[in-house]
Structure 1
């Protein structure tokens, strides 16, 4: 009887331990890049209207190797604001880190540019959100970073 009780207790403890381990796992990003980007644009950009870019413009703007990109979407300011959103799904995880670096270089370059004539926009660029998850990299320069973080968290960032 003692042996059976110990065995049952051990099974319960193992089950609890395994269940606890699964809670910290990050959610895998599975949404299309444009779905994520559209939601970020519609929910976090209020000061401007962003325009969707072509793949060629995205490649030229961020210096991306499009042979390494599986899916992407980018929206840029149609006025003189620093707002922009880019979601890039890389074909392999090795290119994600390089993409993150390219996104950081873009925000640094834009910040230097805006500092010369529009300081509030330079400040917005200092708060730019750059995140990666799995094969995805995201850049979001928005009016509402809290909402952007909430949206990205929902998608697994």
Structure 2
């Protein structure tokens, strides 16, 4: 009789443990995401820029017509500097990877443009910050790359 009670207790314990694991998602981590507007605004207001940055639609600056973008905030300089901010959220991680590639291509093109035009801007472009978090990609081109990384990292928590 005592053996049956012990078996029942063990079974109840196992069932309880299985239910608990099912409800907690077995330790799955939720994909991180960031608020596009808040992050772009933090980069704009917390970093120092030499030029005036203006908000523009992403498709005026980047070739991303085959990418499903759900939200974006882009700031560009007047052209006198390479300073730039982009925070772009996509429908899928695959789209975010395409955006990351497009932003890297943009930095490369900017280096070619500024090489003979304003060579001192190459320092900023060499230290351009491009971070992909979940379905969102953030670009920051400024003199404060370390601080930009901190802002983006803080936004992803």
Same fold (TM over 0.5): yes
| Large movers: runs of 4+ above 4 Å | none
Say what the alpha-carbon RMSD is for the aligned residues. Answer: 2.0
TM-score, normalised relative to structure 1: 0.76
Greater Cα offset, 80-89 or 115-124: 115-124
Deviations 1:91-117 (A, max 9, x none): 111111111000000000000010012
2:63 maps to 63
1:29 maps to 33
- Structure 2 Cα separation of the partners of residues 40 and 100 of structure 1: 18
Structure 2 residues not aligned, in runs of 5+: 1-26
Task: Confirm or deny that 1:39 pairs with 2:42.
Answer: yes
- Structure 2 Cα separation of the partners of residues 101 and 79 of structure 1: 22
- Structure 2 Cα separation of the partners of residues 122 and 131 of structure 1: 19
Q: 1:79 to 1:61 in 2, by over 3 A?
A: closer
Structure 1 SS opposite 2:92: coil
- Structure 1 Cα separation of the partners of residues 142 and 150 of structure 2: 13
1:8 maps to none
Structure 2 SS opposite 1:70: strand
- Structure 2 Cα separation of the partners of residues 83 and 26 of structure 1: 33
Indicate conservation of the 8 Å contact 1:28/1:133, yes or no: yes
TM-score, normalised relative to structure 2: 0.76
1:135 maps to 135
- Structure 2 Cα separation of the partners of residues 92 and 79 of structure 1: 32
Which of the pair has more CA radius of gyration?
2
Q: 1:128 to 1:26 in 2, by over 3 A?
A: farther
Structure 1 residues not aligned, in runs of 5+: 1-21
- Structure 2 Cα separation of the partners of residues 26 and 119 of structure 1: 43
Task: Confirm or deny that 1:51 pairs with 2:51.
Answer: no
- How far did 1:45 drift? 3.0
Task: Confirm or deny that 1:155 pairs with 2:133.
Answer: no
